[in-house]
Amino acid sequence: MKTSVCGIDCGACPMSKSCAGCAATQGHPFGGPCMVAQCCRERGQETCEACDGHCKLKETLIAEYNALKIPGMARVTGLNCLKGSFVNLEYTLPSGQTIRFWDDNKIYLGNQICKADSNRCYGLTADETHLLVCEYGDNGADPEIILYQKRQT
């Protein structure tokens, strides 16, 4: 049974039992919005299959990330739907204040890219208005903000 707007196989997802499915929830599988489902609906499509595998939102975000030319970051070739709780790392600012950027129940687009000549990774997360690039160690340890900026939309 298909429960996603974007075509993801919900049955293969380890969180499928805690997710109501985005088709049944009008694009809010965990209570927060899914930016991919929202994009599809804004284009008047019931599913992302109408994009024929060319999601304009993903293509635009990939181009924005690649334009950043961050040293040691390989070219971005794809983005995945990610639940906010997976990417909502806590960062410590120079003032000592801690901050989180994302909503745990929203679905974002992002990816993890290994940093060249390092045991650390870049974490990419985007919503409709902002891009975040962070760097972290194993399992998100010691995260550092590399870039957080408004999108060029």
61 and 45 within one domain: no
112 is a domain residue: yes
65 and 84 within one domain: yes
15 and 78 within one domain: no
109 and 40 within one domain: no
1 is a domain residue: no
For the segment 63-117, what is each residue's pLDDT rounded down to a tens digit?
999 999 999 999 999 988 888 898 999 999 999 999 999 999 888 999 999 998 9
What total number of domains does the chain contain?
A: 2
Tell me 22's DSSP state: T
Query: In angstroms, rounded to a whole number, what is the distance separating the alpha carbons of residues 54 and 58?
Result: 8
What's the average model confidence in pLDDT over 39-62? 66
pLDDT of residue 77: 95
**Could you tell me if 35 and 107 are in contact, meaning their C-beta atoms sit under 8 angstroms apart?**
yes
Encoding tokens for residue 94?
Answer: 């120079």
- Write out the residue range of the structural domain in which residue 78 sits: 56-150
131 and 106 within one domain: yes
Total-model pTM: 0.78
pLDDT of residue 1: 46
Residue 80: CB atoms within 10 Å: 15
**Could you tell me if 119 and 106 are in contact, meaning their C-beta atoms sit under 8 angstroms apart?**
no
